[in-house]
Structure 1
Amino acid sequence: MGTELFLSRVATFAALGDPVRLAIADLLHDEDLSPDTLAANLKIPGNLLAHHLKILTDVGLVTRTRSQADGRRTYLHLEPGGFDGLLPAASIINTRRVVFVCTENSARSVMAEAIWRDVSTVPVSSAGTVPAMRINPRTRSAILRAGLVLDQSEPRDLDGVLEPSDLVVSVCDGVNEKLVNRSNCRLHWSIADPARVDSDAAFSQTFDEIRSRVLNLVPHVRTPTRQKRKSA
């Protein structure tokens, strides 16, 4: 917790945690403004604005330049780079395969497998802790509407699929709470079951949410590289 980057993030979040300073960042998002214009928009006195600007400047969010037309006037500029690193850097996960898991392996995990297969070269599968008799027809429709291929013909049982080296991504809260004793590396996405609503719109919404999460995860998952044996 005490790294320089972590402390920098703390300072930046603290700077933006004040309503006035966040409003300053919003106002400077699209254009550079003079302090007088900012003070007028915010309806605050100049000395209070100067206090907030110093804090934003100290953390690298705002810079000040002098007007080339009137050297007495200054303009404030929001530095886009000041927001870099606010979110924690995701670690790289090495795994031989990703396995998406939900209870029945009939909706969420099936969608996740189809999406992952389309955007990643890392092997993938899906399974359920209590597999259904069939894949939900609305799942098939959602996958086909997205132009993807569904290779899976029927739900799979987790015990027959999972290997110790697999990365498990649970997409069902109930499953996540049942997998606490598994030794696999695990991630959990709390995604509502679209079958409870049972409409094409619900399945499409779930598909879009899973796709967004998959696209965020893909760059951080890799298969282990094999080291070449040295020749004798």
Structure 2
Amino acid sequence: MASESPGTSVPPSFVTAVGHPVRWRLLGELARGDLAVHELTALLGQPQNLVSYHLRKLRTVDLVTARRSSADGRDTYYSLDLAHCGDLLAAAGAALHPGLALGRPTPAGSAGGRVLFVCTGNSARSQMAEALLRHRTAGAVEAYSAGSRPRPIHPHAVTALAARGIDLAGARPKHFDEVTGQSFHYVITLCDKVKEICPEFPDHPRPVHWSIPDPVNDPDGLAAFERVADNLAARIEFLLHALADQQRKAS
């Protein structure tokens, strides 16, 4: 982007990459969460070969990444790198006028609501996400977690969050049954397996999926849990914007 200075006659690569209506709609769907091709084709009402073509275009500018499903190896989940998207948007604005190179403060103080994170074991990813969101908002957002087959909290999850000043030692694993029937603003699935069996919750027709690798069996050990914590923390920053926007619309 360095060569794309203000006043240039060549549009920034971001603008040309996302300018097609199908690609813009793909970004809009992936901004909510990670999706497989068959889900994107259904949402857009477009044939799979066309959706795959435009996904490749978005991957060439590193806006979208792909990860093989851990539940079904024949499936691939596509993710939008929201942070990179924000950087490219800011750079595109600066290419038009320096005054458009604006930052994007996270509205932690204005965000509220109830969020549920779910994974299979409720022993690492969902517990970490619950604690990170509660800590980030000082409890302003009610964060919960549960699993389909709860297991004891993994010690590496405790260690990874302790390095961030968050005490996870007192957390306990919880089953879906403890939250079934409750209402949440967001239900977020964190593992590909639980996505297929996530129960329905009142007033929430479509859960959001964050396809995050399970660190429990990763040979990197604690480093894998630290990567998951970084991934979750980055996604939560953008979730706060969505929660704040939802709150503004409801008021």
Q: Answer whether TM exceeds 0.5 for this pair.
A: yes
2:53 maps to 1:98 = no
Q: Which runs of 5+ in 2 are unaligned?
A: 17-93, 102-110
Query: Equivalent residue for 1:217?
Result: 239
Counterpart CA distance in 2 for 1:113 and 1:100 is 7
* Counterpart selection for 1:155 from 159, 164, 173: 173
Q: State the identity %.
A: 31
Counterpart CA distance in 2 for 1:151 and 1:161 is 21
TM-score normalised by L of structure 2 = 0.52
2:9 maps to 1:28 = no
Counterpart CA distance in 1 for 2:144 and 2:133 is 9
Query: Equivalent residue for 2:11?
Result: 56
Structure 1 residues 189, 83: closer, same or farther in 2, change over 3 A?
A: farther
* Equivalent pair of 1:96/1:165 in contact (CA under 8 Å): no
Q: Highest Rg: 1 or 2? A: 1
CA-CA distance at 1:104 after TM superposition: 0.4
Equivalences for 1:55-204 in 2 at 5 Å?
56=11, 78-79=95-96, 96-120=113-137, 121-132=140-151, 134-150=152-168, 152-166=170-184, 167-179=186-198, 184-185=204-205, 186-198=207-219, 199-204=221-226
Counterpart CA distance in 1 for 2:113 and 2:143 is 9
CA-CA distance at 1:123 after TM superposition: 0.6
Counterpart CA distance in 2 for 1:181 and 1:119 is 27
- RMSD across aligned positions (CA): 3.7
CA-CA distance at 1:80 after TM superposition: 5.1
Task: Report the 3-state secondary structure (helix = DSSP H, G, I; strand = E; otherwise coil) of the residue aligned with 1:27.
Answer: coil
Task: Report the 3-state secondary structure (helix = DSSP H, G, I; strand = E; otherwise coil) of the residue aligned with 1:126.
Answer: strand
* Equivalent pair of 1:99/1:162 in contact (CA under 8 Å): no
CA-CA distance at 1:103 after TM superposition: 0.3
Letter of the 2:11 partner, please give it: L
Aligned residue pairs, count: 156
* Equivalent pair of 2:7/2:96 in contact (CA under 8 Å): no
